[in-house]
Amino acid sequence: MTRAYNFGAGPAMLPTEVLQQVQAELLDWHDSGMSIVEIGHRTEAFKALITEVETDLRELLVIPENYQVLFITGPARAQFAMIPMNLLGEAATADYLTTGVWSDMAAKEAQRFSAINRVNEAAQLNFKTIPEPNTWRLNANAAYFHYTVNETINGVEFHFIPEMGEVPLVCDMTSSLLSRPVDISRFGIIYAGTQKNLAPAGMTIVIIRDDLLKRKAVHPIPSVYDYRVLHEQHSLYYTPATFVCYVAGLTLKWLKKQGGLAAMAAINQRKAQLLYEYIDSSEFYRNEVAVACRSWMNVPFILSNNELNDEFLQQAKKAGLTALKGHSLVGGMRASLYNAMPEAGVHALIDFMKHFAKNYG
C-alpha cells in the first residue's frame, strides 16, 4: 500500500491511523456485530458516541460552558443561510467582511435575506490581504459581524481576532478549526464543515453562545435549520451523519494523542513556514499574499511560467504528491497543509519543487 501526500483542499487527507481504525472495525463496531453505519442514532451506543465526540471537542478547544455544540448535517455553506435566518432578529442587518471567495459567498447568500452591510470594498482587494480594521465601515446596529478566518481558496488568514465590542463575532472556521488553540469566548458563533480538517464531508460543527440561541427569528424558518430545535434535541432532531460523527471522534482522539492543539499549532506553523521560506527564496515560485496574513493551512503559489502547470502536476503526481492544482478562480497551485499532513509530506513537496525548478527554471 502506498498512500500519497494529498495536498487537496477538501475533502482532504485524514490521518492514516484513523482510516486504519475505520477499516479494522468497519464490519463489527465495539462487538456489536454491526457496522457503525448500521447502528440507529437513537441507540444508547450512538448517543454515547456523539456525547464523547462533544466531550473531546470541548476538551481540545476548551469550549466554555455557556456555549453549545451542534452537529448539523450538510455543507458549511448551509450556514451562510442559517446564520441570517437564525440571527438577524429585529436588527435586520449584519456586517460582513470580505477577504476572499468564501466570505464573499457568505455575504452574497445573506443578501438574499436582508440588506446586510459590507464593511469593505471586496472587488478592489483582489484577496491578497486583510484591510486594516480601522477602515472597516461598521454598523452599530449590526446583529452580528461575519468573517472567514482562513480563506481556503485565496490563502489569506487572520492571525488576530477582530475586536467588535458588543456585536457578536460569527466566524467561518471550516478550513482551520482544530489547527491551533482559539479563544472561543471571543466569538458568538463558530462553524466549520468537517471535510477539511476533521472527517469526511457531510457535517458541519456549530459552536454557539447561549444568548444567541435565545434570539427570536423574525420569520418562520424550517425546523431542520432552526438552531433552537437542533439544540433542544441534542443534534438528534433528524438522523445525524452518523459515520461522519464517528470518524470525527476518531480524529479528535488522534489529536489528543498528538498532544492537543498547542502541539498541532507548533507543527502547523513549522510546516507552513518551511514552504513559504522555500517559495520566497525561489525565483521560480511565488506566493502573492501579504506576509502578515498568509495561511498556515492553504498555501497558493504560482510558477514563473504558467505553461508548465500541467507538467508540474503530472510529475508531482508521479512523485506521490497529489491534488496540488489551485482553485480555478485563482489558478496556479495550492498546497493544503491540514493537521493530517505530516512534516515529511512538506519536505517531500519542497524537494520536488526544487528539483522541478532546476529542470525547468
Active site residues: 102, 172, 196
65-73, 75-83, 250-258, 352-360 -> range binding ligand PLP (CB under 6 A) = 75-83
Is 256 a binder of ligand PLP (CB under 6 A)?
Answer: no
Is residue 193 at the binding interface for ligand PLP, with CB under 6 A as the rule?
yes
Q: Is 175 in the site for ligand PLP (CB under 6 A)?
A: yes
The span from the CA of 337 to the CA of 279, in Å, is 15
Q: Does 295 bind ligand PLP (CB under 6 A)?
A: no
Query: How many residues bind to ligand PLP according to rule CB under 6 A?
Result: 12
> Closest-CB residue for ligand PLP?
75
Q: Spell out a b/e string for 43-82, using b for 16 or more CB atoms within 10 Å of the CB, else e.
A: eeebeebbeebbebbbebbebeeebbbbbbbbbbbbbbbb
User: Does the footprint of ligand PLP cover residue 95 (CB under 6 A)?
Assistant: no
| C-beta closer to ligand PLP: residue 73 or 235 | 73
Instruction: Please answer whether residues 13 and 6 qualify as being in contact, where contact means their C-beta atoms are separated by less than 8 angstroms.
Output: yes
Take residue 58 and report the three cell numbers written for it.
470541548
Biggest alpha carbon–alpha carbon distance for the chain: 62
86, 98, 99, 148: residue in contact with ligand PLP (rule CB under 6 A) = 148
Residue type at 336 in one-letter notation? S
CA distances from 268 to 16, 128, 176, 196, 296 (A): 17, 21, 10, 14, 6
Other beta carbons within 10 angstroms of residue 318's beta carbon come to: 9
- Is 152 among the residues that bind ligand PLP (CB under 6 A)? yes
286 binds ligand PLP, rule: CB under 6 A? no
Please give the C-alpha separations between residue 209 and each of 56, 161, 190, 233, 278, in angstroms, as whole numbers.
Answer: 18, 17, 9, 17, 41
The piece of 72-80, 128-136, 252-260, 344-352 that touches ligand PLP (CB under 6 A) is 72-80
Q: How far is the CB of 102 from ligand PLP (least distance, A)?
A: 4
Amino acid at residue number 217: A
By the rule CB under 6 A, 215 interacts with ligand PLP:
no
Position 336 contacts ligand PLP (CB under 6 A): no
Q: Does 75 bind ligand PLP (CB under 6 A)?
A: yes
CA dihedral 227, 231, 236, 242 (to 10 degrees): 80
| Single-letter code of the amino acid located at 238 | Y
10 binds ligand PLP (CB under 6 A): yes
Q: Which residues contact 126 (CB under 8 A, 6 or more apart)?
A: none
157 belongs to the binding site for ligand PLP (CB under 6 A)? no
Query: Which range of residues in 74-82, 206-214, 255-263, 303-311 is near ligand PLP by CB under 6 A?
Result: 74-82
- How near is the Cβ of 106 to ligand PLP at its closest, in Å? 8
User: Exposed/middle/buried for 282, CB within 10 Å: 0-12, 13-18, 19+?
Assistant: middle
The interface mask with ligand PLP, positions 100-139, x = CB under 6 A, is --x-------------------------------------
Would you tell me which residues interact with ligand PLP (CB under 6 A)? 10, 75-77, 102, 148, 152, 172, 174-175, 193, 196
